[in-house]
Amino acid sequence: MSSNPALEAIIEAAPDDVAGYLVYADWLQGEGDPRGELIALQAANKLKQAQELIDANRAHFFGHMAELGAMLVRFDYDPLGAATSWRWGFLEKLWISQKHTRKASFGPMAPLDVALGWMLEHPSTRFLRELSVGIVTYQDNSYDAIAQVIGRRPLPTLKKLILGDFYSDETELNWSHMGDVSPIYAAAPNL
């Protein structure tokens, strides 16, 4: 995966301006990185072709999470957080959960803090705007480790964070606690 810190800084300074993404797309395409094509397709509102490109290059766009994609698919129970979605070549919204009680039907899983770490370290989340975290564990559901993972990586474009986006069949509210979320403060100053 190619990276150009100077062009990324331009996008970070104006994350709602498509022009910066399109300049980055040109540079990425010159480097042979499929993200450049993805940016161009999404900016042109060619969403079907963009999804086909993502599907054909899952390892490139999701890294370690390519085979664990079920963890990124929101439940249908009307959760608080938005579904995982892309905008201009990068994940704009990320919904992630252990789906602990449904492992067999959802396929392979990883510990949620590990999976979230993989995602936040991946270039696809470079300009993430919203993050929703569901259940961590069925009993003693704590977000301490999640806060530590979020705190390890600067997330200057993150505007919305939901911790505890689960429903009553997954765990009891009294089995859940936020813990120490202070590591998040420095990492995501624009919440």
Cα–Cα distance, 145 to 4 (Å, whole number): 31
Q: Which residue has the higher pLDDT, 79 or 60?
A: 60
C-alpha of 132 from chain center: 9
pLDDT given at position 174: 61
pLDDT given at position 143: 83
Least confident range of 11-15, 35-39, 96-100, 117-121: 96-100
Domain boundaries defined on the chain: 1-46, 57-187
151, 114, 177, 100 alpha-carbon torsion, rounded to 10°? 160
Q: 57 pLDDT exceeds 90?
A: yes
Contact 133, 146 (CB under 8 A): yes
pLDDT given at position 179: 78
Average pLDDT on 147-170 reads: 84
For the entire predicted model, the pTM comes to 0.86
Which letter, b or e, does each residue of 27-64 get, where b requires 16 or more Cβ atoms within 10 Å of its Cβ? bbbeeebbbbbbbbbbbeeeeeebeebbeebeebbbbe
105-152 pLDDT, tens digit each = 555 567 788 889 999 999 999 999 999 988 777 777 788 888 989 999
